Amino acid sequence: MTLSTHNTYPSVEALTIAFAEWLGELVASKDSFSIALSGGRTPIYLFDYLVSHYRDKIDWQKIKFYWGDERCVPPDHTDSNYRAAHEHLLAPLAIPAENIFRIQGEQDPAEEAQRYAQVLRDTLPMTGGIPQVDLVLLGMGADGHTASLFPNRLDLLPSTQICEAVEHPESGQPRVTFTMELINHAQCVAFIVTGADKAEKVRIITRGEKNSKLYPASYVNPRSGQLYWFFDQAAHPQP
């Protein structure tokens, strides 16, 4: 299927169907595949759809799974991005443990950021001294954050590290996140953004308005040139 940079669908359901088809084609085009999953509510609907409609259409055994960020909680905690993916995608598809590379949220955040960076170096191809993920899947918050890169920490965006330990600006919850350097080194990056609460920041970022650089999501610009946004109508209203 042919995509443009900005792709808007009438509903979350229509978006999910289109994204799943695109993902299936992308995975099929490679002998092996790596994906960094995102957290939040939106991917859960996608995970459930992939399990019910793409169980036999995608060669899941050739995919390595990573996470673009994680809340620093145990893997069975309700806040864990890993737990959501495990329950809704990995376990139902019987993904082998050796293909799953989770951020260990139960560990010290700074130490885990370093450990996970080494995991990425050890298990992904290196290009230009940086691990390269085939597909980084991102969401965007109503505040314009992506992964766990928040507007109050724009100072982290130039980081040359692979992963960083950060804190949520309101709750103070510690997290581990991919850096923008790592995200922009990916072979392909895809945003899934849904909901009317995102519409203002979507407009500012996609139009490149002068205040767009206040929001970390606007800095996502992979060197490969392969950046795709998947919106529902609420997040990106069409005339």
Mean pLDDT, range 187-215, rounded to an integer: 97
pLDDT of residue 194: 97
The predicted model gives 157-171 an average pLDDT of 97
DSSP bridge partners of 232: 9
pLDDT confidence tier of residue 104, bands split at 50, 70 and 90: very high
Pair 219, 42: CB distance under 8 Å? no
Which region among 5-14, 36-45, 143-152, 172-181 has the lowest average model confidence (pLDDT)? 36-45
Mean pLDDT across 195-219: 97
C-alpha 219 chain-centroid distance: 14
| Burial class of residue 154 in the structure, from the number of CB atoms within 10 Å of its CB (0-12 exposed, 13-18 middle, 19+ buried) | middle
CATH number of 6-232: 3.40.50.1360
DSSP letters along 55-82, please?
A: TTTS-GGGEEEEESEEESS-TTSTT-HH
Distance CA 174, CA 147 (A): 13
Closest-CA residue to 177 (of 152, 149, 151, 218): 149
Per-residue confidence band for 41, with pLDDT thresholds at 50, 70 and 90? confident
Beta bridge mates, 176: 70, 165
Residue boundaries of the structural domains of the chain: 6-232
Judge if pTM exceeds 0.95.
yes
Mean pLDDT of 131-135: 99
Confidence of residue 21 (pLDDT cuts 50, 70, 90): very high
Q: Give whole-number Cα distances, 62 to 3, 30, 100, 218, in Å.
A: 24, 9, 11, 32
